[in-house]
């Protein structure tokens, strides 16, 4: 769907002079969006959606066509927030460390800085605004309905995506006509949707096996709110993101008991297989002003790596490894849903990932050394000098080796960053079935980017799940009548 939140700490070294606009978010003027502190103590709905992110928002919109839907988002509203709606504030927003900022920072055990979103709309509200479709091969591989997926994409493209005006620094990539050049775009029924902001779900409620509700707290930290599924509804479902599974008692029994969590279902694969697409960049000072813009043009080399250019005057060219093969795990540090978990991705553990990074960096160097790019760089600065310049920036917390300037292999390892496309941890076929149900747990679906086994750049490809859930609810109701 989009390239998310990348390069916060690269930009920290470049954009320290850019102001962060102070903003106190609140519920928007939309009548269905409210503050959690105004919630009644108990509410009942057909569907309860935990997380109003990139998947949760369109999912709630779709479900509202057939039922009453209740959506809980721990962050605030993006509407009217200048830090979110203005492209120029993209980097400063990622550097904001205030407790209510839309970008919650964390550092993986690999020493790489990363981001969790904390805003209505999730990563689609705070990202580099790149939109593209999933391949037909991927759709077939995960067992999705191609027709429903295509309809979902068409809806998105009519509503939120547009073809950008390509600025001069970026035309260099598009005009080179390299193999795989790609130009990207930026990208309900109100009376049946209720959205509460600053609502942090503490845990799900289970009666034996079926899930029947959730407990959540508001901005004041008062845990007094409960949302229940309507009884005897043919459609009732709780739809959640992966992070709450463990806290609610679904995961490795050994790990859950270590945190004094009651085991609802022993699912040892929850949190396993976590991957994050490595990103490496080259920073190129320019003798002439370069327009401030985000990702617009990319180069994909036989789908092995993805190159893109970001102009921040001076410019940055990045490459992202598709896949990747290297994986590890996620675990709880404690039972507070606001705290960051323990995460390790094992970047470049698999030699094939490292080989792709080296290929990508060689392509970037070829672009920088090309005639087309010559007017955007200083001729007296060789690539080695550009690498040395990059090493002076606080890219990550990894050790820098002496040979990094002359070894692309070491360069990839030492300067790796994230593009915030982490995925895995709740894989289809390992934790959830193809209907995104946790086997043995009734009234529960997991619809989240962590269900992907490849990059979560296309989180909106889960849009068709709303139609599927509604369809399954109708079928279930029909069977009850019969």
Instruction: Please check if 350 is assigned to a binding site.
Output: no
305 in catalytic set: no
| Residues 477 and 234: beta-carbon distance below 8 Å | yes
Closest CA to 155 of 372, 468, 460: 460
Cα 287 off chain centre by: 35
Cα 351 off chain centre by: 26
User: How many other C-beta atoms lie within 10 A of the C-beta of residue 378?
Assistant: 14
DSSP 35-77: EGGGS-SEEEESEEEE--STTHHHHHHHHTTTS-EEEE-SSB-
Instruction: Please check if 415 is assigned to a binding site.
Output: no
Instruction: Please check if 119 is assigned to a binding site.
Output: yes
Instruction: Please check if 416 is assigned to a binding site.
Output: no
Instruction: Please check if 201 is assigned to a binding site.
Output: yes
Q: 């790596």: which residue's tokens? A: 305
Instruction: Please check if 429 is assigned to a binding site.
Output: no
List, in sequence order, the alpha helices (H) in 375-457. Answer: 383-391, 408-414
Beta-carbon-side half-sphere exposure of residue 131 (alpha carbons within 13 Å): 20
d(Cα 179, Cα 238) in Å, to the nearest integer?
A: 44
CA distances from 187 to 86, 126, 131, 445 (A): 14, 11, 6, 27
Instruction: Please check if 449 is assigned to a binding site.
Output: yes
Catalytic residue (choose from 198, 225, 421, 423): 421
Pairing label, strands 69-72, 193-197: parallel
Report the binding-site residues for FAD: 54-55, 73-74, 119, 201, 449
Report the catalytic residues: 421
Report the binding-site residues: 54-55, 73-74, 119, 201, 449
């Amino acid at each position: 769907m989009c390239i998310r939140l990348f390069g916060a700490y690269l930009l920290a070294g470049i954009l320290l002079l850019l102001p962060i606009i102070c903003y106190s978010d609140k519920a928007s003027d939309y009548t269905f969006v409210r503050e959690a502190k105004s919630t009644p103590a108990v509410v009942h709905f057909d569907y309860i959606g935990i997380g109003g992110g990139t998947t949760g928002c369109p999912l709630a919109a779709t479900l509202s066509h057939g039922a009453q839907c209740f959506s809980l988002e721990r962050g605030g509203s993006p509407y009217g927030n200048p830090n979110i709606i203005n492209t120029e504030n993209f980097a400063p927003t990622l550097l904001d460390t205030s407790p209510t900022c839309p970008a919650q920072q964390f550092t993986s055990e690999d020493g790489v800085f990363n981001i969790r979103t904390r805003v209505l709309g999730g990563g689609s509200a705070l990202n580099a605004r790149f939109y593209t479709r999933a391949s037909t091969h991927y759709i077939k591989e995960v067992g999705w309905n191609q027709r429903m997926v295509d309809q979902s994409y068409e809806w998105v493209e009519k509503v939120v995506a547009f073809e950008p005006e390509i600025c001069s620094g970026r035309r260099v990539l598009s005009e080179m006509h390299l193999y795989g050049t790609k130009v990207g775009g930026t990208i309900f029924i109100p009376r049946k949707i209720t959205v509460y902001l600053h609502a942090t779900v503490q845990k799900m409620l289970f009666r034996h096996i079926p899930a029947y509700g959730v407990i959540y707290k508001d901005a004041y930290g008062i845990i007094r709110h409960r949302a229940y599924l309507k009884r005897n509804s043919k459609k009732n479902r709780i739809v959640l993101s992966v992070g709450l599974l463990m806290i609610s008692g679904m995961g490795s029994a050994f790990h859950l008991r270590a945190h004094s969590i009651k085991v609802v279902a022993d699912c040892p694969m929850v949190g396993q297989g976590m991957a994050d697409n490595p990103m490496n960049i080259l920073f190129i000072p320019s003798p002439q002003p370069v327009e401030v813009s985000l990702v617009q043009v990319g180069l994909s080399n036989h789908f092995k790596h993805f190159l893109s250019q970001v102009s921040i005057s001076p410019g940055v060219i990045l490459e992202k490894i598709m896949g990747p093969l290297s994986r590890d795990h996620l675990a709880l540090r404690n039972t507070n849903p606001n705290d960051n978990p323990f995460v390790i991705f094992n970047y470049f553990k698999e030699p094939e990932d490292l080989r792709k990074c080296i290929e990508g960096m060689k392509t970037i160097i070829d672009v920088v050394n090309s005639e087309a790019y010559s007017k955007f760089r200083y001729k007296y600065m060789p690539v080695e000098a550009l690498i040395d310049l990059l090493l002076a920036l606080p890219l990550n917390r990894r050790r820098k080796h002496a040979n990094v300037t002359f070894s692309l292999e070491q360069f990839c390892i030492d300067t790796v960053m994230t593009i915030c496309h982490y995925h895995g941890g709740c894989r289809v076929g390992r934790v959830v079935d193809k209907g995104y149900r946790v086997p043995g747990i009734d009234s529960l679906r997991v619809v989240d980017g962590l269900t992907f086994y490849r990059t979560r750049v296309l989180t909106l490809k889960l849009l068709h799940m709303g139609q599927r859930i509604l369809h399954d609810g109708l079928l279930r109701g029909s069977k009850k009548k019969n």
